[in-house]
Amino acid sequence: MQSELIDVGFFQWLANLLKDPRASIAKWIITFGPIWVYCPLFAIIFLETGLVVTPILPGDSLLFTAGVFAADGGGLNIWVLIISMSIAAILGNTSNYWIGRLVGSRIIASGKVKSLTPERIEKTQAMLDKYGMIAIVLTRFFPIIRTFAPFLAGIGAMSFPRFTFFNIIGGVAWVCVFSLLGYFFGGIPFVQNNFELVIIGIVVISLIPAAAGAIKMRLGNKNSE
């Protein structure tokens, strides 16, 4: 019973965060203050990329919204935001890489991680095979896939020094793009007045490449049968 209450509480929290990250961050600023508010932001960015079981955390929209709060009078500092979130993203990928390298095969074989579906594994592995190291940068901009990419790179024993190089580039680029979009464009009246729609738009646009790739892969599999 207690476990069910925890699950309900978590999913309600996640639903609120996905629906209106602006309200969540505003609450954190009030609760923790402008200095410690970076801690929950850091934790979410780290967990989204650092654990293969948490691909549904809203990295893109959270970074965009945090960028809005880093504009004048919002309570956050854009440079602290970019630096701290870049570190979180880089450490997250590094953690996931080593999890994959050390116990990845056993995790997949156990079948206990429901998010690791054969389709998602196949799609992510196809990107790694096609683009090589640069895929570590590209997958940063694909929700869900960015969580699986370092995990599968670890399973494939990708060179860690080379992985780290592209991991740093991808992490910094991802954080900068979405944080600065929020910083420069979040104050536009249309964005402020339609914030939830903008967040939905960001999520949809981010998912389009992954969805298109999945459809293409499925059609290819059917044609080969």
Rounded CA-CA distance 21/17 in Å is 5
pLDDT at residue 217, rounded to an integer? 52
Cβ atoms of 28 and 40 within 8 Å: the answer is yes
pLDDT at residue 76, rounded to an integer? 94
pLDDT at residue 223, rounded to an integer? 52
Q: What is the pTM of this model?
A: 0.85
pLDDT at residue 181, rounded to an integer? 94
Q: Describe the crossing of helices 160-185 and 78-110 by its angle, rounded to 10 degrees.
A: 130
Q: Is 215 helix (H, G, I), strand (E, B) or coil?
A: helix
Residues of the chain with pLDDT under 50: 1-6
Q: How many other CB atoms are there within 10 angstroms of residue 40's CB atom?
A: 17
pLDDT at residue 65, rounded to an integer? 94
Q: Which amino acid is present at 13? A: W
pLDDT at residue 133, rounded to an integer? 85
pLDDT at residue 119, rounded to an integer? 77
Encoded tokens for 205: 């646009």
